[in-house]
Structure 1
């Protein structure tokens, strides 16, 4: 089999995880697996020849930008990267006007920015697919990579996997993880202090999905309840992009009990527990921010210890690579009609 075009579902926009049905989600993971194999074996057949994609990032990025650019190069498409300094988006040109103009030049738009309303506005006015490469509320391409990583690194089917997110439970990664896990029928737990728990509306939506999929969704302040028998512990930075540095003074006391270290890994009671992180991570004091945290709070690393981050249980670099394969699967699915002569 050489084609990677989804066989059972074709998606349009991907703005948040709930845009995907379970069959579509599972097909994207199957496609990503095939695409990963093709890249490793040197058997890629470019399927996006002649197409051009706009990659608009108002927030900086290493992994997501690289994933889009390399995926597009592999598939033979043109890629134009724009940041806040090289476009008029949001400053002197509206999202509506930008969407309508770019639709005349490009075949798809990847957008990374701030509020979810921005990517929604692009999609509302674009006549081409729009993909959310991160907003304050959702990070669906990250969750896809997370699911592929868990699928690859456990012998269990995903619906039998227990994944626990610890830390800032109201961030975009936690929202997407919880919702995607609910779609796929998994046991997902969010352990976070009361002020940093997920938006109740997001939890309610995930629980509604779980009622149909057979998933289990738990949100708690109790670390031991959340991590019991977990196959994966997942965490993220304690202060997200765009938040003030003063937030650390508030967050560190709240979140230190949720820090993933060797003791936390052993408390799961599962000797095979693995570690996930979307990156970047503050796991030592070698970076400028890591040094500040060490000097100010006495923590060598914040959300995760260096020992766990670099342990044999860590799957963080697998997640980073898998961003490329799952993003490629998303773009191929969205652009399927254009690659089948219907352009």
Structure 2
């Protein structure tokens, strides 16, 4: 039985057991119900401060973490990369050492994953991954929370399909979340767009022992047959602009269209972490259509992250 996660880092979901992930998700559900019942401030983190470092711009990550912290009674401090001495040559190690003497937790949204690992290594307080090039655990938590709300808490009976870039950071974390909980995920992607070997290693070590599985299917229409959940993400992420034309060409057959969704189960749902590049990875008729639960999914970012903060911040 899980009793406390205080002081833990949140870098990848592989650091958490099945029981611990369920504990976080259950806490998120409880906090969301209290919020919807009108309890807009739950004073669990009064007097606590969260530093939020952003190398990459953000809409959902910034607003959801900031409102989550404030609704727990704490304070959030936004720090763009240009505002920090990191931009002038101060090391990640020194930044971590100093920040962790001022605040109670650090959330960072970075380009390279090693930076979040280095922050955690030298920080006295919990470090939370708000996105890196390899992982987006905060997003995956809200994804699983949304799937449980729409399809029931036992995800082991579901067929969850990701269509697009198999090396996507959101997919990496979704793979781990679903797998650690014992579920199955199918990845529809072209050759050359497979999950990163380091993520496959984490999956084999932490998800497979729980009964989790993943498979790669090149044909997107075959992949989504009888799917309960169809998920996609942008084809060109920040930092990939030089590859844009090639990526668009390679991934064009993996666009989520009405025809593709009609191959899934009649009650299938469509998910996207946003922002969406409409007309590229998904058409308007899907993201705005009867399958879409993307707005509920976006809303759940705040509730899932509120649970992480409430449970990890000392």
What TM-score do the two structures reach when normalised by structure 1? 0.88
Match of 1:265 among 261, 267, 291: 261
Paired with 1:310 and 1:249, the residues of 2 have a C-alpha distance of: 26
Structure with bigger gyration radius: 1
Match of 1:141 in 2: 138
Q: 1:151 to 1:311 in 2, by over 3 A?
A: same
Structure 1 residue ranges without an equivalent (≥5): 1-5, 284-300, 339-343
- Partner Cα separation in structure 2 for residue 152 and residue 220 of structure 1: 27
Tell me the SS of whatever aligns to 2:90: coil
Match of 1:319 in 2: 297
Asked whether 1:240 is paired with 2:237, we answer: yes
- Aligned positions, number: 312
Is contact 1:9-1:23 (8 Å) kept?
A: no
Equivalent residues of 1:8, 1:23 under 8 A apart: no
Map 1:140-219 onto structure 2 (within 5 A).
140-155=137-152, 157-219=154-216
Please name the residue that 2:109 is paired with: 112
Question: For 2:74, which of 74, 77, 91 is the aligned residue?
Answer: 77
1:128 matched to 2:125? The reply is: yes
Q: 1:148 to 1:101 in 2, by over 3 A?
A: same
* Local SS of the residue matching 1:79: strand
SS in 1 for 2:86: coil
Q: d(CA) in 2 for partners of 1:138 and 1:156?
A: 24
- Is the 2:14–2:202 Cα contact (8 Å) retained in structure 1? no
Distance 1:203 1:77 in 2: 37
Whole-Å Cα distance in 2 between the matches of residues 31 and 199 of structure 1?
A: 31
Aligned ranges 1:249-288 → 2 under 5 Å? 249-268=245-264, 270-283=265-278
Alignment of 1:31-110 (within 5 A): 31-43=27-39, 44-89=41-86, 91-110=88-107
The alpha carbon displacement at 1:156 in A equals: 6.1
Distance 1:279 1:54 in 2: 24
Deviation track 1:209-247 (CA, whole Å, cap 9, x = no partner) reads: 343111221123232342121111100001001212x42
- Under a length normalisation based on structure 2, what TM-score does the superposition of the two structures give? 0.95
Structure 1 residue 16 displacement after superposition: 0.8
Take 1:156 and 1:72, find their aligned partners in 2: how far apart are those partners? 26
Q: Deviation digits for residues 176-199 of structure 1, max 9, x if unmatched?
A: 111111101111011111111112
Aligned-partner SS, 2:33: helix
Answer whether contact 1:9 1:27 (CA < 8 A) is retained: no
> 2:83 aligns to what SS in structure 1?
coil
